[in-house]
Amino acid sequence: MFMIGQGERVVPVGEPEPQHCPRCDEERDFQPQLAYKYGEFDLLFGFVYGRRYQLACPECNHGWRLDRREAERRYGKPDIPFRLRYGFFLLLGLFAALGAAYLANPPLP
């Protein structure tokens, strides 16, 4: 049976940098983060969507979004678990293999 789940994660992607927080009205070490949502089937295959980079104040969580290309250039590619990153392609590959096996070995009429 297939179980389908989904969730959201926030991972830090780089060194904190000091920024003036308009909400705290003080200098804070803003943490660059990658937030993403993911879905998974049966805890084995998954996929990632709604990826966004943000800079967040550690005190009040106020923050703003970062440009994705800019952020990836600065912080490098984020560390997304393998099965979430490539799970969708693994799943497609599995279906393709099953389809090929079926075509190569069709059931007798």
Per CB under 5 A, residues contacting Zn ion are 21, 23-24, 57, 59-60, 62
Q: Shortest distance, CB of residue 28 to Zn ion, whole angstroms? A: 5
10 vs 96, beta carbon nearer Zn ion: 10
Q: Shortest distance, CB of residue 86 to Zn ion, whole angstroms? A: 36
SS3 content of the chain, % helix, strand, coil (to 5): 30, 40, 30
57 vs 66, beta carbon nearer Zn ion: 57
Name 101's bridge partners. Answer: none
24 vs 43, beta carbon nearer Zn ion: 24
- 47-68 in b/e form (b: 16+ CB < 10 A) is bbeeeebbbbbeeeeebeebee
